[in-house]
Amino acid sequence: MSEGVVVALCAILMFVGMIGIVVPILPGLLLVLLSVLIWAIATGGTTAWVVFGAAAVVYAIGVLAQFLIPGRRLKSQGVGIGTMVAAIVCAIVGFFVIPVVGAFVGFVLGIFAVEMTRSRDRQQAWTRTKAALRAIVHSMGIELTTAFVIAVIFTIGVLST
């Protein structure tokens, strides 16, 4: 397979990964890193492996930031891990019950239901639900930014070889 075809296929896989971040069906960030690995294996050489190493470091930093930053904000708002686990379970159920938007609806309803049960205060439950939604958006933003940085590293690597 020619290098141009490999680069094109890796770029397409990277794009699919970025879509997977926004529409959380696929492991988006992992697909982005995998596309750089495939390119490094196909291309070979020191430059390709340095590019993959840099992408892997950015990936690790991004994954760490993706959990630490929103998690700290959630904890300060009083949203517990149990709430998030219940919300994820509700999102999975919602995904199968309501096509297209079910995961989002299930996630929001799951957070609200758990927080309403915990606090018995609708306003506080809604405040914590909004905090959890903001944390999810921040997490997605961190993941997407990480994917774009990896894409830039990949592009620089392709242009350097």
Compute how many other C-beta atoms are within 10 angstroms of the C-beta atom of residue 32: 31
Query: What is each CA distance from 95 to 21, 101, 137, in whole angstroms?
Result: 16, 7, 18
Question: What digits encode the pLDDT tens for the residues 69-78?
Answer: 877 777 777 7
Residue 54: per-residue pLDDT? 98
Q: How many CA atoms lie within 13 A of 4 on its CB side?
A: 0
pTM beyond 0.85, yes or no: no
Report residue 100's pLDDT band, with 50, 70 and 90 as the boundaries. low
Higher pLDDT, 32 or 111: 32
Question: What digits encode the pLDDT tens for the residues 38-60?
Answer: 999 999 999 999 999 999 999 99
In angstroms, how far apart are the furthest CA atoms of the chain?
Answer: 63
